[in-house]
Amino acid sequence: MSVELLMPRAGLTMVEGTIVTWKVEEGTQVKKGDSILEIENEKTTMDFECTADGYLHIVAKPGDVVAVGNVTAIVAETLEEYKTIAKSQPNAGNNEFEVDKEKVEKPQAKQVTSVTSSGHIKATGLAKKLAASAGIDIKKVEGTGPNGRIVAKDIDDYIKNMETVNAANTEVNAAQSETYGSPEIIPLTGVRRSIAKNMYESLQNMAQSSAAVEVDVTKLNDMRKILTEKKDFIGCKVTMNDLLAMATVKVLKKHPLANATFDGKEITTYPYVNLSVAVGAEAGLMVPVLKNADRMTLSQLSNNLKDLVERAKDGKLLNGEQSGGTFTISNVGIFPIDIATPIINPPQVAIMGFGRSVKKMVVVGDEPCIRTMMNLFVTFDHRVFDGLEVGRIMYDMKEYIENPELIMV
């Protein structure tokens, strides 16, 4: 009896996986527990172990995107059964991918139709139909009919003009390719594909708004220097990011509405802080989660955070280490970035970012002096927060940063 090998769900948010490589060939006799496949999901790359003994028939090929629960391969119990399956079961990976592409393309056609039939564009019914069929934004077409109405001929002329422009561009590109080489096409797959999808959906499904404030990090930087000098005594080298993370945890305990998730109907707050930390890795953005960060001392937080960040950069995070976060921080201070508008990591309701530290002239106690300043910025879901609560959160964060001794209380 044959056994289907299905795309596993590695984490609550996983909906699909990409076939990276098969470690065994078609028709190979495999055993239960053999590592036969490498899969990439939105967060990491993982090995897939065979769940039965028999002969392997590969269904999904490398590069195919397979939905969770769909078939990646079939293991036949006998060689005769394998031959029968191989003849009757064509590769399904490409079929599944084609279905996914249709799902992506159909909403685009609907969007054009809704725009062209909104009543704000003067166009004949046939012109609207032709524009929708050709995927043309009818607002870009110049009408030559009565009172500037767009007629069918205008759509035909627009298509012909675009074909001429495209042909000319093709000739130019061909000439450039001969001189300078061909353009490189980079498929958006695996982690980067999932990041793009999640970020787009985050912006589409939330009422995201941002706020920022400049804070004085002179004292915080002084504290970091003192702790660095005592690294042998305390057992770790405390970084600015560690102190900012600790301050964030303190603020979240005072503002449970920020330490929450929202499914569109209900807000869930948590009695613990699982701090997600954005990490830029070569494979794409990784967001490991420091579980129970509110129950850690500064040295514990520092050591655990360093371990997570290093393994995230090396692509060695374990399953579950990027899930369960209740709030996210993103420190772009190592780059020449003063301020940014980070995108919320759903279903969380806010994300906090930190810019670079810069020495500048400021006024303290009515006297000009040089201080080290940094921008603190927050993106929040306005369905959950109003400006009053965000102001209070930023006020408290500013207090902790400018009076770092409070972080230790």
Domain 3-97 fold is OB fold (Dihydrolipoamide Acetyltransferase, E2P) (2.40.50)
Residue 89: the pLDDT is 74
379: which strand partners?
210, 351
CATH superfamily of 206-408: Chloramphenicol acetyltransferase-like domain (3.30.559.10)
Pairing of strands 35-40, 45-49: antiparallel
- Residue range 255-300, pLDDT digits in tens: 999 999 999 999 999 999 999 999 988 878 899 999 999 999 999 9
For 17-64, give the DSSP string: EEEEEESS-TT-EE-TT-EEEEEE-SS-EEEEE--S-EEEEE-SPTT-
**CA 64 to CA 198: how far, in whole Å?**
19
Report the chain's mean pLDDT, rounded to a whole number: 87
Q: Find out whether the peptide bond into 347 is cis, omega within 30 degrees of 0.
A: yes
Residue 351's closest CA among 364, 339, 342, 360? 342
CA distances in angstroms from 381 to 75, 145, 148, 260, 386, listed in the order given: 47, 46, 43, 11, 9
pLDDT at 181 over 80: yes
Band of pLDDT at residue 54, cut at 50, 70 and 90: very high
CATH superfamily of 117-180: E3-binding domain (4.10.320.10)
Band of pLDDT at residue 43, cut at 50, 70 and 90: low
Q: Fold match between 3-97 and 206-408?
A: no
- Which one of the listed residues 57, 120, 255, 382 is annotated catalytic? 382
Q: What are the extents of the domains in the chain?
A: 3-97, 117-180, 206-408
Specify whether 382 is catalytic: yes
- Residue range 341-389, pLDDT digits in tens: 999 999 999 999 999 999 999 999 899 999 999 999 999 999 999 999 9
Token pair recorded at residue 38: 């490498």
Higher-scoring residue by pLDDT: 220, 91: 220
Higher-scoring residue by pLDDT: 128, 258: 258
Band of pLDDT at residue 25, cut at 50, 70 and 90: very high
Residue 125: the pLDDT is 72
